[in-house]
Amino acid sequence: MGLRVTFNGQFRDATTNVERASERLLQFQRQVSSGRRLDRVSDDPSGASSALGERTKIAQVDQFTRSTDSAYSRLTVIDTVLSDIVTKLTAAQVAATSALGTTPTTAQRTAAAEQLDGLKAALLDDFNTSLQGNYLFAGTKSTSKPYVTGSGGTVAAYAGSSTEIQVDIEEDRAVTVSFDGGAITKGSDSTDVFAIMDSLIAAVNAADSTAINSGIASLQNVFGRVTAAQSRVGASMQTLDAEKLRLSATKLASSERLSKLEDANMAEAITGMQQADTAYKAALGAAATAAKVSLMDYL
């Protein structure tokens, strides 16, 4: 005896096949319309979990990129200020040198002294440079001026912190964005640049060539520390340039991996959808044909 084909069995088979085909079609349709391979976590649990990791990586790279940009703009300002300080120091040395010896007249000395006074004020402004309310040469005490002028025009000792502020531009990699002003103006010397300028002005006015010479030598020390700081800034800026490239490469790689995990392969999805559509129509056709004829029709 052959297989008994029962009405319910036929019906169950037909509906199951139609349901399966339509479910498959729906899956592909969802992929094509949403463009996503992962619609629910259960579509690919391990893929979803990897996608989370990539997203976190991208978020972090974005954050490092923001930090890099912000550090870069601060360092640009610092670099400009340091260049300006170099110019001022050179000008001060030139002015002091012009007052050396016995040739300069009193008027010329006074002029040189006034020029030095002006340069001192300019240097003070430079070291008190602030960006968005933060003093760039005050270390971690960045909310208050590192140098304030007391009574009689004397600049008080460094009020900033010797701790510098760093920001992270990568895991375990940071750049300094707020410098220890004291280390530049004074370093291991006994007096800072402002005191040197004060004594230099006094020496120029007094036509004391020995004192002028020692003042010029002291300025040279400051000059050395400023250019050292400038090379640090330059090196940091180079690091940041390289870092930006690396970050964008990392982000691209992560985004590509994320896309592979989450995005539908359109060519595949569309082909799949067409196949599923054909299968669905075939299942419908088969179901309709199977139920159409019966011996009852011939009685």
Partner 1 sequence: MSDLLTSLNSAARSLDAQRFGMDVTGQNIANVNTPGYSRRTLDLVWIAPYDKTSAGGGVEVIGVRALRDRLLDRRLQQELPAERREAAIAEALRTVEAAIGRPGESLDVKLNAFFDAFAKLADNPTSSVARQEVLLQGGTLATSFQDMAARLRSAQADSDQQIRAVVDQVNTLTSRISALNATASHAAATGALPALQDEQLYLARQLSELVDVSVIDHGNGVVDITLGNGKPLVVAEHQYDLGTSSTAPLGYASITAGGVDVTSQITGGRLGGLLQVRDVNVPAYLDQLDTLAYNVAAQVNTLHTAGYDQTGTAGVAFFTFSPSIVGSAGAAEALIVNPVVAADARKIAAASITDVGDNQTARGIAALRDARVLNSGTATFTDAWGQMVYAVGRDSKDAADDQATREEIVRQVDQLRDQISGVSLDEEAANLLKFQRAYEANARFFKACEDTIDSLLRNLS
Closest CA to 136 of 166, 168, 177, 167: 177
Query: How far is the C-alpha of 2 from the C-alpha of 72, rounded, in Å?
Result: 84
Span of 3-11, 25-33, 116-124, 248-256 interacting with partner 1 by CB under 8 A: 3-11
Among positions 33, 35, 49, 265, the unique one binding partner 1 when judged by CB under 8 A: 49
The correct pick among 22, 27, 29, 60 for binding partner 1 (CB under 8 A) is 60
Site track 96-135 with partner 1 (rule: CB under 8 A), x = hit:
------------------------------------xxxx
Of 33, 63, 231, 238, the one binding partner 1 by CB under 8 A: 63
Closest contact distance (angstroms) between CB of 284 and partner 1 is 19
Out of 171, 188, 267, 292, which residue is the one contacting partner 1 (CB under 8 A)? 171
**54 vs 198, beta carbon nearer partner 1:** 54
Rounded Cα–Cα distance for residues 255 and 58 (Å): 7
Helix (H) or strand (E) holding 58: helix 45-98
CB 286 within 8 A of CB 17: yes
How many angstroms separate the CA atoms of 283 and 289, rounded? Answer: 10
Q: Where are the alpha helices (DSSP H) in 135-265?
A: 181-185, 193-206, 209-262
Q: In whole angstroms, what is the distance from residue 214 CA to residue 121 CA? A: 21
Q: How far is the CB of 132 from partner 1 (least distance, A)?
A: 7
Quick one: tokens of 174? 């940071």
* 140 lies in the site for partner 1, by CB under 8 A: yes
Window contacting partner 1 (CB under 8 A); options: 112-120, 149-157, 226-234, 289-297: 289-297
Burial class of residue 217 in the structure, from the number of CB atoms within 10 Å of its CB (0-12 exposed, 13-18 middle, 19+ buried): exposed
Indicate whether 299 belongs to the interface with partner 1 (CB under 8 A).
yes
- Residue number with CB closer to partner 1 (71 or 204): 71
48 lies in the binding site for partner 1 (CB under 8 A): yes
Amino acid symbol at 221: N
Closer residue to partner 1 (CB): 132 or 210: 132
Single out the segment in contact with partner 1 by CB under 8 A; choices: 45-53, 179-187, 196-204, 220-228: 45-53
Binding mask 227-266 for partner 1 (x = CB under 8 A): -----------------------------------x----
Give the Å distances, CA to CA, from 61 to 152, 164, 172, 253.
51, 24, 14, 11
Among 10, 2, 16, which Cα is nearest to 293's? 10
Q: Does 70 help bind partner 1 (rule: CB under 8 A)? A: yes
Distance CA 96, CA 198 (A): 12
Contact set for partner 1, span 147-166 (CB under 8 A): 161, 163, 165-166
**Nearest-angstrom CA–CA distance, 54 and 254:** 6
Binding residues for partner 1 (CB under 8 A)? 3-9, 12-13, 16, 38-46, 48-53, 55-56, 59-60, 62-63, 66-67, 70-71, 132-135, 138-143, 161, 163, 165-168, 171, 174, 178, 262, 294-296, 299
